[in-house]
A and B are shown apart, each in its own frame.
Chain A
Amino acid sequence: MASKRARREAGIGYLLLAPSLFGILAFLIFPILVVIWLSLNSWNLLSPAKFVGLENFVRVFQDTAFLRSMTVTVLFVLLVIPLQTALGLFSATLLTRGLPGSGFFRVIYVIPWICAPLALGVVWKWIFAPTGGALNAVLGTNTSWLTDPALALPAVAAVSIWSQVGYVTLFFMAGLSAIPAQILDAARIDGSGPWQTFWLVKLPLLRPTMFFVLVTGIISSFQAFDSIYALTPNGGPQGTTDVIATRIYGEAFQSFNLGRASVMALVLFVLLVAVTLIQQLYFRKRITYDLS
C-alpha cells in the first residue's frame, strides 16, 4: 500500500516538475548539445552543415581577434567588478542608515537596472556623441569618447557599472539589515568605533552576500553584450571593446561562421564554470557565521 502511495506521490512530483524540466531540457540542455555539435561542423546558416572535426577549435585558437577579445573581456571584468561592488556596498551602507530621502535614492539607484540595456545604450550613445553629445557639452570638450581606443573600454565599463550598481546595492542592503542589532550593540559596548564595526563585524557577516554579488556580477560581466554592442558596434576602436560576447555575435550572425562561434561560446562556458568553482572554493574555506 505504502509503496503504491509513494509511487503515486512520486508520479505527482514528476508531473509537477514537468514544466520546469521541459524548460531546462528545451532551453538549457538541448542548446548546449546543439552548440557542442555545431562546434564540430562548418555551417553558414544556408548550406547544410559539414562535419570538420576539430578544425574550428584550431582556427579559433589561432585567431588573434578571439585572443584579443579574451583579454578585453578580462580587462572589462577587472574594471567593472571592484568598482561596482565597492560602490554598491558604499551606497548600501548610506541607505541603511535611515537618513531622510533614502527611499527616493533607493528607487533612483535601481531604475537603470530595470531599463532595457539596449535602450540605455542608445541614450548613452547620445551622451557620448562627439558632436552634439551631452558629455562634451557639459565638459566643454571635443572628445571622441567611444572611438578613442584608450577611452572606449572605460566608457562602456562606466555605463555597465552605472546600470548595475543599484542591483548590487539592493543585495547589500538586504545583507546589512539581516545583521542582528544585538551583535552591533555588543560591538559598540566593547568600544568598537563605526570604522572598526564595519571592517570587523559587518563585512565578515556580509560574506554570503558578497559571494553572491561577486559570482553573479562576474558571470554577467563576462557575458556583457547589449550595451557594449549598442555603444560600440564592430568591436569598437581597434577592437578595444570587442568582448567575447560581441565577438561570438559577430562571428555567428555577421560572418556566419556558426561553427567557430560555437567554439567561442564553449570556451566562455568552460571559463565561467571554472571561475565560479574557484570562487566557491575560496569562500567555502572562510568561516561563515551562522546566525540562525
Chain B
Amino acid sequence: MKSFWRKGATATAALGAAVLALTATGCSPAADKGSTAGSSGPNTTVTVRLWDEQVQKAYEASFKEFEAKNPNITVKTTLEPFSTYFDKLRTDVSGGNADDIFWVSSSYFAPYADNGSLLEIGSEFDSEKSGWVPAAVDQYTRNGKLWGVPQLTDGGIAVYYNKAMLAKAGVDPSDLSWNPTDPSKDTFLKAAQKLTLDANGKTADDPSFDKDHIVQYGYNASQDLQAIYYNFIGSNGGAFQDGEKFVFASDKSAQAFQYVVDLINKYHVSPGAANTNDNGDFLRDQFIQGHVAMFQSGTYNLKNVSDGAKFDWAIAPIPAGPEGRVSVVNNIVAAANAKTTHKDATLKVLQWLGSAEGSKFIGAEGAAVPAVTAAQSSYADFWKAKGVDSSQFAKAAEGKTISAPVGSNYGAAANAWKPIFNEIFLGRTPVKEGLQKAQDAANAAMTQ
C-alpha cells in the first residue's frame, strides 16, 4: 500500500499503479536456481525443499554423510513455512523455480502427478521400496504409479496433557470417551469441564462459572483438520470424503462437528475460534505456556512440546467415540521435480533419502517418525532415552484409522470451505447448514 508517484504524472501514475495489480497475477520468468552444472558435471548441486525446521536439521546431518560418499554432489535444503508452502510451490513449479526435490503432502500431490510435474518413482528404487511403510506407498500411488519417496509417517493422533493440572482435577486421561447423543456415556466432556477454570477458580461445570474470564482451558477444540475434527468424524463413524467427493455434511460427520463446536461455544472448554481460526499454533503455544490442560496433536509437535514445556507432561490416547478411537494417519513424501536439469544426481539423493541409512537421521534427534521402516527405531530410541513414552502415537496408527483428504484440486476446495468453516467454529453459522454450504462449495471447486 505504498505510493511512489511523482507529482504531475497522474495518468502515468494511474496506469503504473494499476499495472502493479496486474503483475501480481502474471508469472515471473523462469530462473534456474541452485543448479551449477549438468548431471554429468563434476559439481552438481541438488536442492531439497521442505517445511519442517526440525527435519531440516536432520536432513543437513544426513546430507553431510551423503556428500562424503558422493563428493561430486552437493545437497542444499530450503525451508518454506507450511502456511504458504503449497501456494508458493505451485507458483514455483509453474515458473520453473522449484527445487529438484520437494516435499508434498497427500492432499496436495495429485495435481502435480496428473500434470507431469513429478518424476515417477520407478524401477530405480526397487531395492529401497520394500523398506517403506506400505500405507505411505498406497497413499501416494496414483494411476498405478508412485510419485514420491516416503519420508515421514505421522503416526496417529494422541493427547499431550499437563500432569499437574489433571492430578489436581482428579482426571484420569487413559480411557476417556465422548458421545454426541448420550451424555451419560460422555466422560470426556466432564473431564474437560473440570479442567477449565475461570479467574475465581470455578470449573466450567459450575453454574457460577464466568465464561468471560477463563484462565485455564481444558482442551484444544479448534478448526484443526489433522489433530481435531478428522478424528472426531472417524470416531463417530463418519467420513470426510468418498473418493474425491466431499461428504462431510452427512449426519455422522455433522454430529462430530457439532460436538467439537459445542466444546468451544457452548461448554467453553476451549478458547474461542477467533483465536484459532487463522493461527494453527495458538493452542500449542497456550499448552506450552501452561494455559491448556489437554492438547490433542501428533508426533509433529512432540519435539516442540518437549523443548518448550517447563512442566511435567505425558501422552494419552485420544478420547474414544461411539466407534472407538479412529485416528487420522498421514505420510509425507519427497518428490522429484520433472523439470530438474540433473536427473541422475536428483534420483541419487532420493535413493539416499529412501534408504534406512539416509533416513535414520530423521528419527535420531526425535524430529519425526521416518517412513522407512528400518529407520523407525531411531525415533523410539531417542524419546525413550529422554524418558518420554511416545507409544500412543504408534498405537493410534495401528488401530482404526481414517485417511487424510486427497484430490486433484484440493487447494481450491480447501480455500472454498475455509471461510464457511471459520463461521461454523465461531458459532455464527449453524453447523449442519454451514457444512452443507461448505460441502457444495468444496465439491464445486474440486470439479471446476
Query: Do residues B90 and A46 form an inter-chain contact, with CB atoms below 8 A?
Result: yes
How far, in whole Å, are A245 and B94 apart by their CA atoms in the complex? 22
* CB <8 Å contact, A224 and B415: no
CB pair A131 B271 closer than 8 Å: yes
Instruction: Report the bound CA distance from A81 to B118 in whole Å.
Output: 48
For A117, list chain B residues within 8 Å (CB): 1-2
Given contacts A219-B17, A224-B1, A226-B1, whether A45 and B91 have CB atoms under 8 Å apart is: yes
* Residues 45-62 of A contacting B (Cβ, < 8 Å): 45-47
Q: Is the CB of A38 within 8 A of B212?
A: no
Interface of chain A residues 136 through 161 with chain B (CB within 8 A): 142, 144, 146-147, 160
A253 and B18 in contact (CB under 8 A), knowing A216-B3, A280-B10? no
Q: Hey, what's the 0/1 contact readout for B2-43 against A, CB within 8 Å counting as 1?
A: 110101001101111111111111110000000000000000
Map CB proximity to A onto B415-438 as digits: 1 under 8 Å, 0 otherwise: 110110011001010000000000
Of the candidates B3, B23, B272, B411, the one whose C-beta lies within 8 Å of that of A130 is B272
The answer to whether B415 and A255 have CB atoms under 8 Å apart is yes
A289 to B21, CA, bound (A): 35
Q: A219-B3, A224-B1, A254-B412 are in contact. Are A273 and B25 (CB under 8 A)?
A: no
Q: Contacting A28 at CB < 8 Å: which of B3, B19, B91, B418?
A: B19
Beta-carbon nearest neighbor of B418 in chain A: A234
A254 touches B11 (CB 8 A): no
- Asked if B290 is at the interface (CB within 8 A of a chain A CB), the reply is no
Contact A223 B275 (CB under 8 A): no
Contacts of A235 in B (CB 8 A): 419
Q: How far is the CA of A248 from the CA of B25 in the complex (A)?
A: 8
**Residue contact B25 to A220, C-beta cutoff 8 Å:** no
Q: Are B18 and A269 in contact (CB under 8 A)?
A: yes
Segment of A179-187, A195-203, A256-264 engaged in the interface with chain B: A256-264
Q: Is the CB of B112 closer than 8 A to any CB of chain A?
A: yes
In the complex with contacts A237-B422, A237-B423, A280-B25 CB distance below 8 A:
no
Residues of B within 8 Å of A212, CB to CB, are 5, 7, 10
Query: Is the pair B445, A255 in contact by a Cβ cutoff of 8 Å?
Result: yes
Instruction: Please report whether the interface of chain A is mostly helix, strand, loop or mixed according to DSSP.
Output: helix
* From A44, A160, A239, A280, residue with most partner B Cβ within 10 Å: A44
- Chain A residues contacting B1 (CB-CB under 8 Å) are 117, 160, 163-164, 220-221, 223-227
A144–B91 contact, CB under 8 A? no
Task: Enumerate chain A residues within 8 angstroms of B196, measured Cβ to Cβ.
Answer: none
Q: Is B277 an interface residue (CB 8 A)?
A: yes
Q: Are the C-beta atoms of B91 and A113 separated by less than 8 Å?
A: no
Question: In the complex, what residues of B have CB within 8 A of residue A130's CB?
Answer: 272, 274-275
B107 sits at the interface (CB 8 A): no
Q: Which of A34, A113, A215, A279 sits near B26, CB closer than 8 Å?
A: A34
B324: interface (CB < 8 Å): no
B5 surroundings in chain A (CB, below 8 A): 212, 215-216, 219
Asked if B423 contacts A265 (CB within 8 A), the reply is no
Q: Which residues of A contact B114 (CB under 8 A)?
A: 46-47
Contacts A31-B22, A261-B25; A234 near B17 (Cβ below 8 A): no
Q: Say whether A27 contacts B423, CB under 8 Å.
A: no
Contacts from B to A (Cβ < 8 Å)? 1-3, 5, 7, 10-11, 13-27, 87, 90-91, 93-94, 111-112, 114-115, 117, 212, 271-275, 277-278, 409, 411-412, 415-416, 418-419, 422-423, 426, 428, 445, 448
22 contacting pairs across A/B (C-beta < 8 A)? A35-B26, A38-B25, A45-B94, A46-B94, A46-B111, A147-B273, A160-B1, A211-B10, A216-B13, A216-B17, A220-B3, A223-B20, A234-B278, A250-B415, A254-B411, A254-B415, A255-B411, A256-B409, A269-B21, A275-B14, A276-B14, A277-B14
